[in-house]
Amino acid sequence: MTPRPDELAAELYLEEDISPAAPYQPVSAPQVVLVTGATGFLGAFVVRDLLRMTGATIYCLVRAQDADAARQRLAANFAHYRIEHPELTSRVVVVTGNAELPRLGIDDPVYEWLATHVDTIYHLAASVSFMPGYEQLKAINVTGLKHVLRLACARRTKIVHYTSTYAVFNSDAYALAQRVHETRLVGSSEGFPRGYDRSKWVAEKLVELAQQRGLPVTMYRAGFISGDTRTGIHNKMDPVAQMLAVCLCTGHAFHLDVHLHLTPVDFCSRALVKISLHAGSENRIFHLVQPAPIPTRRLLDWMIEEGVNLKLVPYAAWYEQLRIVCRKYPQFIPAFYLSSREQTRAFGEGENLSSLYFDTINVDQILPPEERCPAMEPPLLRRYLDYIASPDRGYEVVVRRREGRAS
């Protein structure tokens, strides 16, 4: 059962042993790095960019039965997202464990070695599912963070680079906001529409407590992470990509007044790693969010202009098409569950995120203009659409973009 908003106040505590063992000594060039979440979408790209931008040995926490299975799982994830680097096998080391477990589920000798030698932790492990309630997400998104903070405090004090989400602004405290800044959260947790948002709100509050105890933690609020700008490849469970795929499979779409903060994964990873290596980034907050969101109406209008023969129907009619297509293509079931919560209102409609803009001053102070988040211009949108419509996606597309359209 999901807690009532006021019950989340009881979640905002850190155990006494989560306190730095010694004052933090800044590291100019990390040598031993621990990454959680490397078997995820963003995590795979962060590992690649750590290989590109540092000389560090990268230890990746992987949930698996043994080291061989962990290596296979990590390699499969890199292969799926087309991650390549000549030192993937020589500088990336797997650590079998589980962020949900005490001491991260790591064998004691390995844990002690990591506590002594790791100088930087990138904590990306999380469940990003929009369907479960807070209690189902707590183990990984909240307790898992505590386990990471505890390791960061052990033996030598290590900086933690923690990925949060722009969804922390979905509370009632920001219902009337137009633009939000790279600052700490205000207000209570009241009004969040999902357990995921609640879990990340609690996690940010725990980070603040750790910072007050002297542990350096840099936070990155990621936007809606979209595909790679080079290949167009998306997260396996990307709900926006799934809904667009449903439109291509049925020929039906619906209008929706929502801003999509589509933020390319390779921008997120590159910016995160570069900012993490910048002197003075400790304890700051950075918005890795698309500053120029694209309205869904404009996206659909663009698709039609590109020659995609879509029929615009009411949301309820589109939902019926979704029910039909899910019987044929089970991979769309996550999109079905997201849509089935409110059959008369589309996912995301009426939420704060549908109209918010995100300040990125802290990011812009570090990244030069050419390295900032790319806008959703036609060439990139075409790459995304071509990937979603590619024949190897496991579903039959009934409407396709006509080739040869002008930019």
Summarised one tens digit per residue, pLDDT across range 318-375 is 888 888 888 888 888 777 766 655 544 555 667 899 899 999 999 999 999 999 999 9
The string of pLDDT tens digits covering residues 105-123 is 999 999 999 999 999 999 9
Cα angle 304, 307, 313 (rounded to 5 degrees) comes to: 35
Note whether residue 233 is domain-resident: no
**Mean pLDDT calculated for residue range 174-200:** 93
**Mean pLDDT calculated for residue range 29-42:** 97
Note whether residue 286 is domain-resident: no
Full DSSP string of 164-175 = EEGGGG-SGGGT
Note whether residue 93 is domain-resident: yes
In this predicted structure, the answer to whether residue 207 has a pLDDT above a threshold of 90 is: yes
In this predicted structure, the answer to whether residue 407 has a pLDDT above a threshold of 50 is: no
Range with the poorest average pLDDT among 6-10, 42-46, 159-163: 6-10
Note whether residue 307 is domain-resident: no
DSSP H helical ranges for 120-237: 134-138, 144-153, 195-212
Note whether residue 305 is domain-resident: no
In this predicted structure, the answer to whether residue 29 has a pLDDT above a threshold of 80 is: yes
- The pLDDT, as a whole number, for residue 196 is 92
| Whole-angstrom distance, CA of residue 141 vs CA of residue 61 | 15
Note whether residue 268 is domain-resident: no
Note whether residue 369 is domain-resident: no
The string of pLDDT tens digits covering residues 56-85 is 999 999 999 999 999 999 999 999 999 999
- Write the CATH number for 138: 3.40.50.720
Number of domains comprising the chain: 1
In this predicted structure, the answer to whether residue 37 has a pLDDT above a threshold of 90 is: yes
Instruction: Identify whether the C-beta of residue 211 lies closer than 8 Å to the C-beta of residue 24.
Output: no
Note whether residue 44 is domain-resident: yes
Q: Which domain holds residue 130?
A: 5-222
The string of pLDDT tens digits covering residues 85-109 is 999 999 999 999 999 999 999 999 9
How are beta strands 217-222 and 179-180 bridged, if at all? unpaired
